Amino acid sequence: MLARAAGAARRELSTAASKGKDRIVLVDGVRTPFHPSGTLFNNYIAQDLGRFAIKGLLARTGINPAELDYVTYGNVIQEVRTSNIARESALGAGIPDTVPAHTVSMACISANQAITTGAAYIHAGQAEMVVAGGAETMSDVPIRWSRPVRQRMLASRKARKPADFLKLLKGLKLADLAPEAPAIAEFSTGEVMGHSSDRMAARFGVTRAEQDEFALRSHHNAAKATADGILKEEIMPVDGVQEDTGVRGDSTLAKLNSLKPAFVRPHGTHTAANSSFLTDGASAVLLMKESRAKAMGFTPLAAIKDFIYVSQDPSEELLLGPAYAIAKLMKRCGLGANEIGVWELHEAFAGQVLSNLRALESDSFAADKAKTGKKVGSVDMDKINAHGGSLSIGHPFGATGGRIITTTANRMNRENSEFGILAACAAGGQGHAMILERV
C-alpha cells in the first residue's frame, strides 16, 4: 500500500509503499509501436492511439471493461476536441460510460503521473482496478492563428454589417496571418531544451564522443531486442505493424560523428542523432492491489515499492531531475546502486542521461544539491536500458512513462532482479523516479 512519506522535503511530492503485504501491483502493460512523427501514424489523432493501447490492454488481460473503476491518462500536446483524452480514449476502447476518466499533463512524465495517480486512487480506496498510461501524436499538433487574428475572429461574432467586418481588418499586419506552431522553448526561461541539455553536458564534462557512443548503444540494443522478439512482447500490432520504426540497427559511429550540432552552434555536442526524435504512440497499464490480482488469477509483473517527484531550477537544472529523484528515493528506501538489478532511464538526450549518471557519482551533488549525504555511486552500464531507450525506440511525450514501467517490470522478471528503478526528466525542471519490486 502507499502512504505519504513523513517529513517530505519542500518541493517534493512522494508516496511510499508500506511494509504491508497487500501491495499495489502492475498486472500488465502494453503499448502501440512507436513511430517517428509524420510516418505510419500520420493520419491518426492521439485519441486513436490511446484507444488502440487501452483496447490492446483489455484484450491481453481479458479484463471485463465493466469491472474497471477508473482511467487516468497522460497527454502533453492537447487537441481541444479531445482535451480529456483519458475519457475519449476509454470510450473509444469500449470502456463503459459509467467509468470515470481524467487526463493529467506533466510534460514528459505525464504517463508516470497518470500511473502514480491511479495507484493513489487505489490506496485511498477510491478504486480497485485502474487503467493508466498516455498517448501523444506530433503528426497532428494544434497550429493556431496569431493573437491579433484570434482576437478579430472572436470579435467577428458581433459583426452585423459588411462595414463591421472591414473594421476588423484595421491594424492587421501581413505577418499576423502566419500560423503559429506550438512553442518548443521553455515558457519560464525561453530556452530550448536541447540547448539547456547541451550546457549541462558541458558542465558535467560529457564529451561528444561519449554521447554518440551512448546513442549508438541505444539503437543497437533496441535492434537486438527487436530481433530477439523481446520488445514485441510489449507491443500490440497496429495496422499489421508490431515494431518500432525509429530504431536504426545499422547505424555506425562514423555516421553519428558526421552530424553537426543541432542546438549550440558551432561547438555544441548535441546532434539530431544523440537527441530523441518526435514520436507518435500510446501506452496502457493495469493496476490493482496484489490480493485482487491474485484472486483473479493474475501473476503481476511487479509491485510499486516507492516513487517520488522532484523539481529544480529550470534555468540551470532543467533535465537533472532524475539524479535528484533517484538519490532521494534510494536513500529513503535504504537501497544501494548494487542492489538494483534493472535501471530504465528516459533518454531525452544522450548528454542528459550521462550528465545525470555523473551527478549520481558526485560527492558534492549528494551533499550540496540532493542533500542525501552520500552519493549513489556509479551504475553498471550493462544494467541501464538493456533493450534500448527513447533515443532509439522513440519518445511520445505523454506515453513514455507507460513504456518504461512495463519494460522495467518485464526485465526484472526476465533477469531475476529483486528491484528495478525507472526515472525520467521533464520540462519545467521536474523529475520522477519509481522503484519496483518483484512479486
For 282-294, write each residue's pLDDT tens digit.
Answer: 999 999 999 999 9
Going by C-alpha positions, the residue among 337, 352, 320, 355 that lies closest to residue 430 is: 320
Q: Which of 108, 195, 219, 333 is catalytic?
A: 108
Q: Is the pLDDT of residue 169 over 90?
A: no
Going by C-alpha positions, the residue among 269, 258, 262, 253 that lies closest to residue 203 is: 269
Superfamily of domain 193-230+304-437: Thiolase/Chalcone synthase (3.40.47.10)
Quick one: DSSP state of residue 181?
A: P
At 179, is the pLDDT very low, low, confident or very high (cuts 50, 70, 90)? confident
φ/ψ region of 218 (left if φ > 0, alpha if ψ in -120 to 50, else beta) reads alpha
Q: Which of 219, 346, 395, 432 is catalytic?
A: 395
425 carries an active-site annotation: yes
Confidence (pLDDT) at 21: 77
Instruction: In the chain, list all ranges with CATH 3.40.47.10.
Output: 2-141+280-295, 193-230+304-437
Q: Which of 35, 195, 425, 432 is catalytic?
A: 425
Residues 320, 351: Cα–Cα separation, whole Å: 11
395 carries an active-site annotation: yes
Q: Is the pLDDT of residue 18 over 60?
A: no
Name the residue type at position 186: E
108 carries an active-site annotation: yes
- Quick one: CATH architecture of 2-141+280-295? 3-Layer(aba) Sandwich (3.40)
- Range scoring the smallest mean pLDDT among 2-6, 127-131, 266-270, 421-425: 2-6
Q: Taking all residues of the chain, what is their mean pLDDT, rounded to a whole number?
A: 94
* Mean pLDDT value across residues 397-408: 99
At 20, is the pLDDT very low, low, confident or very high (cuts 50, 70, 90)? low
